[in-house]
Amino acid sequence: MQQRRFGSLDREVSVIGQGTWQLDGRNDAGAIAALRRGLDLGMTHIDTAEMYGEAEPLVAKAIEGRRDEVFLVSKVLPSNASRAGTIKACERSLARLKTDRLDSYLLHWRGSYPLEETFAAFEELQRAGKILSWGVSNFDADDLEEALSIAGEGKIACNQVLYHLQERAIEHAVIPWCEKHKVTVVAYSPFGQGRFPNPSSAGGRVLKEIADAHGATPQQVALAFLTRRDWVLAIPKASKPEHAADNAAAGDLRLTTAEIERIDQAFPRGRPKSLPMI
């Protein structure tokens, strides 16, 4: 599993991590087994959020006895992101996760509270050792520039954004901005939220041909393409151990320049546009 730096932290994180949005609460055992299998295979970056319902308690069960292996991330809802509200939300997440600290804590998306309040809470939590770093999610380049003007260089660890083969808007401005300022990009929903290319489509056939050349799957090729740049990580979800194993195998897949160009042509990034909001 490739490892990459996470913002300005002196720590490396698995290039392929584990998302927990919409994990099936009716299948706790399967979800827990999938997360543990992912840990076994080096996917130590686990992402969750207070918005994700039962995901935080599920993660707590999955990482029991293994907390020190995990790079654990959660997120505060914008409706809770006042200075006092952020601190209380973090403490609730810590309790649900049964841990004393988060490796990173993110603002899920921009809301009505000033960024100054949220960031002040993050800094307070960091001084108290309850979080080791902090970042943002669903921030466009203009939002990032504003955040930088408030926080300063080296404070924003990551920007977690939607990124998949059919949604490449972040390549125009967000990724270049993050690379310039050493902010890690974390790609959520890298398989397109149920919109993965059909095998019979032109793009699907390109993925299949490249996958066959590597003894891989089209999904693994997609993950390798999305994480081809040094400051990008991906957090696919897996609800079964075998799916976690499939995702982990993408962590060592290297595509050739020619293969990257073929995928780029098959799934053009299109014109710049504002980021979609969840």
* pLDDT, position 193: 83
Q: What per-residue confidence (pLDDT) applies to 239?
A: 87
CA dihedral over 36, 42, 45, 51, signed as positive or negative: negative
Between β-strands 71-76 and 134-137, what pairing exists: parallel, antiparallel or unpaired? Answer: unpaired
Look at residue 165 in the predicted model and tell me its pLDDT. Answer: 97
- Cα–Cα distance, 218 to 204 (Å, whole number): 8
The pair of structure tokens assigned to 201 is 């489509």
Q: Which domains are delineated in the chain?
A: 3-198+218-254 (3.20.20.100)
Q: In the chain, which stretches have pLDDT less than 50?
A: none
Query: What's the whole-model pTM score?
Result: 0.94
Predicted confidence at residue 67, as pLDDT, reads 97
Would you state the pLDDT for residue 10?
A: 86
